[in-house]
Structure 1
Amino acid sequence: MEDCLFCRIARGEIPSRKVYEDDLLIAFHDINPARPMHLLVVPRRHIVSLQTVTADDEPVLGRMLTVARRLAEENGSPDGFRVIINNGRVGGQEVPHLHAHVVGGPEPVGPMLKRN
């Protein structure tokens, strides 16, 4: 998608604080971090969300998780981290391009969900 924010970042049209890139992915610091370490891991190819993936996407999905682990350790969260992938309106996805938030830091990230 030409006007997709993350596609434009992947093409270098919008600057980002990159921490990783390869043929399948790009990773960069979130511009509005929720934790001391908050990175986004994004496929270069436009994939809307996990709701649209197929078996053909397995290589990029696996790479997202292995890169997330490595980047968390290298960027200040060697004792653990959280990977969050929001999907669709109900899941809170704000940018319609698959991406994983990798969050952590020196302190625990807190409860997974707010309990009702």
Structure 2
Amino acid sequence: RRTAYEPHAQATTLPTPKMSPPRRLAVLCSHLRPDGAEPPAENERPAGQQTVISASPCGDDGRGAVAGRVGDREAESCVFCRIIRDEAPAFKLYEDDVCICILDSHPLALGHSLIIPKCHFSSMEVTPPHVIAAMCSKVPFLSNAIMKATDCDAFNLVVNNGEAAGQVIFH
């Protein structure tokens, strides 16, 4: 078995069971996505090849913090807010009222995914605790599903909070 840390290019050259990891990931996605979008063909990479767009608009977090709405300059230019507003494509793995999980469009490893709050918060310090808790509560479900789909037995959980920590999208 591989670990999720192995880069995608190396992982696709290794022998796999009956179905390749990208195909298993596509099948997993077809079960997680309620919109019924077809999984990509066997020879397609999951990230960036198949487009699935969020069905829910970005909105109020329940405590008055509105994000992602047109008119908010930060949210209008934020790629994650654009994905949430159905204005940019993403390969969606999971979605609920608080967060969305998508495959990274430039993956560092097979199964590289992002759990993103639906409301625009520029850092962890300004993100309400209930939003952080909701996102973290999805980690066991999503990580187990992704590890099974990619035939990995481990994963990394990383939070890039702040420019010095590698954060490049301040959502």
| TM-score (norm. length: structure 1) | 0.74
Q: Distance in 2 between matches of 1:3 and 1:89?
A: 18
Matched residue, 2:108? 34
RMSD over aligned CA atoms reads 1.5
Q: Deviations over 1:36-65 (max 9, x none)?
A: 121100000001011323xxx111101111
Is the CA contact (8 Å cut-off) linking 2:102 and 2:114 kept in structure 1? yes
Superimposed CA distance per residue, residues 11-52 of structure 1 (whole angstroms, 9 cap, x where no aligned partner)? 111010000001100111001111112110000000101132
* Structure 1 runs of 4+ with >6 Å offset: none
Provide the secondary structure at the position in 1 that maps to 2:157: strand
Q: Which runs of 5+ in 1 are unaligned?
A: 98-116
Matched residues in 2 for 1:12 and 1:69: separation?
Answer: 27
3-state secondary structure, aligned to 1:75: helix
CA distance in 2, matches of 1:52, 1:25: 16
Does the alignment pair 1:73 with 2:144? yes
SS of 1:83's partner is: coil
Percentage of pairs with the same residue: 35
Aligned residues: 94
TM-score by length of 2: 0.51
CA distance in 1, matches of 2:153, 2:130: 26
Q: Is 1:19 matched with 2:90? A: no
**2:170 aligned counterpart, secondary structure:** coil
Please say which structure displays the higher CA radius of gyration.
2
